[in-house]
Structure 1
Amino acid sequence: MAITRVAASARSRAVNLLRTIQAHPPSCPCHGNPMHPHHFAKAASGLLNAGGSRFLATPRDASQMKDYAFEMAASSIRFGPGSTREVGMDFANMKAKKVLVVTDKTVRKLRPMKVAVEALEQEGIKYEIYDNVRVEPKDYSVKDAIAFGNRHPDVDAILAVGGGSVMDTAKLVNLYTSAPEADFLDFVNAPLGKGLPVTCKLKPLVCIPTTAGTGSETTGTAIFDLVEKKAKTGVAHRALKPTLGICDPLNTATMPSAVHASSGLDVLCHSIESYTAIPYNERAPRPTNPILRPAYQGANPISDVFSFKGLQMTAKYLPRAVKDPEDTEAHEQMLLAATLAGVGFGNAGVHLCHGLSYGLSGSVKDYRHKGYEVDYPLIPHGVSVAVTAPAVFKFTGPSNPERHLQVAEVFGADISNAKAEDAGAILSDALKKFLESLGDQPMGIKALGYSKSDIPSLVEATLPQRRVLMLAPGLDAATDSQVEELSSILEDSMEY
C-alpha cells in the first residue's frame, strides 16, 4: 500500500512538472517576454517605422489576434463610518427629483435603510421603494423589479441598499428601464444571451453595500439565475458600474457570522482568481473597436495591486470577522478588502471557481446553508465559489507557479524550498486548512448534495460561461478537453 501511495505521488509530481514546463517553456528572458524592455523597444521602433500601422491597423482576422491593451474602470468610492447619511446630498447634487430605492425585505427593516431614507427626506427628494429582491436573483425576480421600475417612469436615479443580490438587481433595473425596447437576453452574456454592448444612457446609480463580499459597488457586472438553463449568467459591461459606491462599515455590523463567512469567501476567490487569470495580452480575440473590449480582460499590472492587497486583508481579517461579532476592526477591513478586490476582479476577471459555481448554485437541490433565513434551497454565492477552490488552484498551479506560491505564502505556507511543480498542491492544501478554520463550511460538493452522477450536468452548466473560462490558465481551448478537465476538477472537489 505504501509503495502504491509513493508511486501515485511520483506520478502526480511528474504530471505537474510536465504541465509546468509546457506552461513555461525555457526561453530567452528577453525575447520570450513581450513586455521586456528590449522586445518593447523593438516593437516601438516598428511602430514608428511603420507610421503606427503595426499596432493600430485593424488586422484581417482579429479573432486570431491577442489583445495589446487593458482598460481600468471602477465606480467612485466613498469609504467611512457614517457616510450613508450623505446620500441625500449626493442625489441633490446630481439634481435628482425622484429616486427608486432597491432593497430586500430583510434590509428594509435595518439601520442602513432607515438612515438612507432619512437622508433622502432631509433633502426633499421623492422616492419609491422596491423591497422584493431575491437573495441569489432569478431571471423572474429581476424581471419583476424591472416591471416595478417601468411603472415609475418619473424616476431619474436609483439607490441600491443591500448585498450583491440587491446591487446586481438594481443595475439590471437601471439597464432595462433605460432600454425598454430591448429583449431581456439582448445584453446577457453570450452564448446564453446575445452579449450586445450597452450603448444607451443609464440613470445615476448609487450603491450602499450591507455585506462585505461581492464588490458589486465597484463593477459593471450583474449576475442572476437563468432558470430554464439551470445556470447563472448575467450582464457585464462598464456602463453598468455604479456612479458612486458608499462603503459605510456601520452597515455591516449586523451581518450574521454565516453571511460574514460566505461574503468573505467571495472576496477570497475574487482576489485569487483575478491574480492568477491569464495575462491581458494573452487573451483573444483582440477587439475591433474599444467598445467591444470586455470588462473581464485578464490579469494586468493595476488589477494585480488591488487583487493581492484584497487577498492579504481577507486572509488576515476574515477569520476574525467570522468568529467575533464585536471585532469592528475586522468588519471594517473586510468591507475595504471587498472593495479593493472588486476593483481588481472587475477589470481582470475571474475564472474557474466562479465558472463552476454557477452550475452548483443554479442546480441546487435541497441544500440550505446554515445561518441564512430563507424558505427555499440556497447555496450562498461565496460558498459555491470557494468549495471548488482547492481543486481549481491545484489544477491551475502549473500555469504560473510563482503566483500560486505567492498566494500560498499569504495563508502561511512555507514556500522557501517549494518546487514549481508542487505550487498548485501547496496552495490547495493551504486553502483547505483556511476553509476548515472558518467552521461550518462544506468541505466538498458532496456536502452540498451532489454526487459523481451529477458531474456531467454540472459541467454542461459550466461550459456556457465563456467570459470566465477564457481567462482560466491551463484550460484547454477544445470543448472536449474542457469537459474532461472540468469533470476532473469537480471529481477532485467531491470531498476534502
Structure 2
Amino acid sequence: MNQFNFTMPTKFYVGFGQVNVLREIAGEYGKKALLCADSTMGELGFLEKVKNLLKEAGVEVEVIDDVQPNPKDVDIDRQVAYFLEKGCDFTVGLGGGSSMDTAKAVAFLAAQNDGSVRDYVAGGVKSALEEVKQPYPVICITTTAGTGSEATKWFVVTDTVNHDKPGVGHDLLMPSVSIVDPEFMMSLPANVTRSCGIDVLFHAMEAYVAKCANAFTDMAALEALRLVMKYLGRAIENGKEDREAREGMAWANTLGGIVIGEGNSGTVAIHALGHSIGGQTNAPHGLTMCPLAVPYIERTWRADVEKYANLTRVFGYGEDTMSTEELAALCPEAMRGVLKKFGCDLTMKDLGVTEEMIGPMTDSVFHTMGGVLNNSLVEFTREDVIALYKDAM
C-alpha cells in the first residue's frame, strides 16, 4: 500500500432531521451569521427554517438570497464587502454547490481582506496562497446530492474576464460544520436530481482512477459508486416519495466530496475539461462531464486494467467468465450505458459548445486546471485535449 494522508477537520451531521442541530451548535461560531442561498431556498421555505434555527441559537442573521449558479467573481467580491460591512462572524451556505462555495469564498476572502477573488485564482497575484489567514467559520447545509462542496477544501468561481471556472483550494477552506439532511432534497425536480447526481458519479469514478488515489479513497469511492448505481435512477423517477433513495444519494454525494477533498485523491481530466465547458456555456456542472467520459475512458483504461475492470463490474456490465483485460476494455461501453440509463448521454453540442470554443476552452484547461489534468493516469498534451473535445462534440 502506498503512503497517503487525509484530514477530517469538518464535523458532519448526516441523516433526516439533522438540520435541527443548528439550534444547539450555531452559537459556538459567533453572534452574527451571513446566510448565503439562492432564491429557490426562500420559495421552498428552507431559508426561513434555517433563519429560525439560527435565531433560536441566539445568532443574528444577515441574508444574501440571490446566489446564482456558477458564482461570478464580481458577485463574490460584492458579498465579501457585505459580510464585512455587517460585521458578521461566520457564514452559512444553504443550497447546492454554488451557495456552499459562496459561503466558503466569502469566509476566506473576508478574513484576508486584501484584494478581489480574482487575485487568488490561477494566474492571480495571490494565487500562491502564501501567508493565508484563518478564514471565518463556515457551516454548509447541502440541499442537493451533487458537488460534494460540504466535504471539500475548494471553492469554484466564474472568471467573467477570461470566461474560466478556476478553483481556489486550501486546507483551511474545509467547512467547520456540514449538515447533510436529505429532507431538503425531497423536493428536488428530476432534472436537478439528474445533473447533480451524475456529478457524484464522476467525483467517485475519477477519484478511483486518479494518480493520487489511495486505499482510503478507493474504499469510499467504490461505495459511493455502488450507492449511485442503486439509488440515482430511483431518485430521478420518484424522488419526492423515495426517502431511501434520497438518503442513499445524499451519503454518496458526501462520500464523493470526501474522497476528492479530505482524502486528497482529486479528480482527473474529465473534470478539468468539464469546468472549461461550464465557463463558456454556463451549463449545469454535472452535465459538462457527460460528453467527455467515454472518450476519456477510451484513452485511459489500459493504464490500470484492474481498476477499470472493477468500474465495469460496478456499472453492472461484464460476465464472470471475462478476463480482467476484457472487462477493462468493456468500460467505455459500460460508461455509455450508464449515461444512457440516467438520461445523460449528451454531446458537447447539446450543451451549447461550438467548434470555435474548443481553442479557448483548451487554453482555459491549461490555465486553470493543469493540476487536475495531470492527476490523470495518462499524459494529456494540448493536442490530446483538443482531440478529446472534438470526439465529445
Q: TM-score, normalised by structure 2?
A: 0.93
Q: Is the 8 A contact 2:19 2:181 kept in 1?
A: yes
Distance 2:208 2:149 in 1: 18
Aligned to 2:67: 133
Specify which of 72, 84, 88 is matched with residue 23 of structure 2: 88
1:349 aligned to 266, 269, 287, which one? 266
SS of match in other structure, 2:86? coil
**The residue matched to 1:78 in structure 2 has which SS?**
strand
For the 8 Å contact 1:225–1:233, the answer to whether it is kept is: yes
Q: Which moved more, 1:387-396 or 1:180-189?
A: 180-189
- Residue 74 (structure 1) shift: 5.1
Q: In 1, Cα distance between the equivalents of 2:210 and 2:65? A: 36
Judged with a 3 Å threshold, the aligned counterparts in structure 2 of structure 1 residues 190 and 77 are, in CA distance, closer, same or farther, namely farther
Name the residue aligned to 1:41.
none
> Match for residue 432 of structure 1?
336
CA distance in 1, matches of 2:382, 2:354: 17
Residue correspondence of structure 1 range 338-487 to structure 2 within 5 A: 338-346=253-261, 347-364=264-281, 378-414=282-318, 416-418=320-322, 425-439=329-343, 441=344, 443-464=346-367, 465-476=369-380, 482-487=381-386
- Counterpart-to-counterpart distance in 2, 1:138 and 1:114: 25
Q: Which amino acid in 1 is paired with 2:243?
A: T
Cα separation, 2, equivalents of 1:202 and 1:333? 32
The residue type equivalent to 2:289 in the other structure is: V
> Does the aligned pair in 1 maintain the 2:118–2:124 contact within 8 Å?
no
In structure 2, relative to structure 1, the CA distance for the partners of 1:468 and 1:95 (3 Å cut) is: closer
- Structure 1 residues 406 and 192: CA distance shift in structure 2, 3 A: farther
Structure 1 residues 320 and 95, CA gap change in structure 2 (3 angstroms): closer
Cα deviation for residue 73 of structure 1 reads 3.7
Contact 1:100–1:128 (CA under 8 A) maintained in structure 2: yes
| Secondary structure of the structure 1 residue equivalent to 2:93 | strand
Q: Indicate if the aligned counterparts of 2:292 and 2:392 stay in contact, CA closer than 8 A.
A: yes
Matches for 1:20-169 after TM superposition, within 5 Å: 69-73=4-8, 75-92=10-27, 94=28, 96-153=30-87, 155-169=88-102
Q: Distance in 2 between matches of 1:188 and 1:106?
A: 28
The 3-state SS of whatever aligns with 2:216 is: helix
Whether the aligned pair in 2 keeps the contact of 1:84 and 1:112 (CA below 8 Å) is no
* Structure 1 residues 183 and 121, CA gap change in structure 2 (3 angstroms): closer
- SS where residue 84 of structure 1 aligns? helix
Distance 2:131 2:254 in 1: 24
Please tell me whether the aligned partners of residues 112 and 132 of structure 2 are also in contact (alpha carbons under 8 angstroms): no
SS in 1 for 2:62: strand
Give structure 1 stretches of 5+ with no counterpart: 1-33, 36-67, 279-297, 365-377, 477-481
Which amino acid in the other structure matches residue 25 of structure 2?
Answer: D
Could you say which residue in structure 2 is the equivalent of 1:255? 188
Cα contact 2:35–2:93 (8 A) shared by 1? yes
* Aligned residues of 2:30 and 2:90 also touching (Cα < 8 A): yes
Structure 1 stretch displaced more, 110-119 or 400-409: 110-119
2:326 and 2:392 map into 1 onto residues whose CA distance is 18
CA distance in 2, matches of 1:74, 1:493: 38
- 2:228 aligned residue (314, 325, 329): 314
What's the CA shift for 1:124? 2.6
Which has the higher mean CA deviation after the structures are superposed, 179-188 or 117-126?
Answer: 179-188
3-state SS, counterpart of residue 355 of structure 1:
helix
Return closer, same or farther for 1:210/1:198 CA change in 2, 3 Å cut-off: farther
User: What does residue 301 of structure 1 align with?
Assistant: 215
Query: Aligned pair in 2 of structure 1 residues 166, 269: CA closer, same or farther (>3 Å)?
Result: same
SS of 2:149's equivalent in the other structure is: coil
Q: Which moved more, 1:115-124 or 1:423-432?
A: 423-432
Answer yes or no: is the 8 Å Cα contact 2:38–2:95 preserved in 1: yes
| CA distance in structure 2 between the aligned counterparts of 1:190 and 1:398, rounded to whole angstroms | 34
Question: Residue in 2 aligned with 1:488?
Answer: 387
Aligned to 1:290: none
Aligned with 2:6: secondary structure? coil
What amino acid is aligned across from residue 242 of structure 2 in structure 1? D
| Structure 1 residue 184: Cα displacement | 2.9
1:232 aligns with 2:149: no
- Distance in 2 (alpha carbons) for counterparts of 1:137 and 1:321: 26
SS of residue matched to 1:213? coil
In structure 2, relative to structure 1, the CA distance for the partners of 1:122 and 1:249 (3 Å cut) is same
Question: SS of the counterpart of 1:127?
Answer: strand
User: 1:339–1:192: structure 2 CA closer, same or farther, 3 Å change rule?
Assistant: farther
> How far did 1:324 drift?
1.2
Q: Distance in 2 between matches of 1:345 and 1:303?
A: 8
Instruction: Give the gaps of 5 or more residues in structure 2.
Output: none
Deviation at 1:113, TM superposition (A): 1.9
CA distance in 1, matches of 2:120, 2:131: 7
Residue 76 of structure 1 and its aligned partner are, at CA, apart by: 1.6
User: What is the deviation of 1:149?
Assistant: 1.2
Q: Aligned with 2:147: secondary structure? A: coil
C-alpha contact (below 8 Å) 2:29/2:137 kept by paired residues: no
CA RMSD of aligned residues (A): 2.0
Question: 2:31 touches 2:89 (CA, 8 Å); kept in 1?
Answer: yes
Displacement of 1:394 after TM fit?
A: 1.7
- Show the counterpart of 2:136: 203
- Normalization by structure 1: what TM-score? 0.74
Say if 1:85 and 1:115, in contact at 8 Å, map to a contact too: no
Contact 2:77 2:116 in 1 (8 A): no
Q: What residue in structure 1 maps to residue 252 of structure 2?
A: 337
Q: One-letter code of the match for 1:82?
A: G
Is the CA contact 2:9–2:176 (under 8 Å) kept in the aligned structure 1?
Answer: no
Give the Å deviation of 1:108.
Answer: 2.3
**Alignment of 1:216 onto 2:149:** yes
Name the structure 2 match of 1:244: 177
Residue range with higher mean Cα deviation, 71-80 or 202-211? 71-80
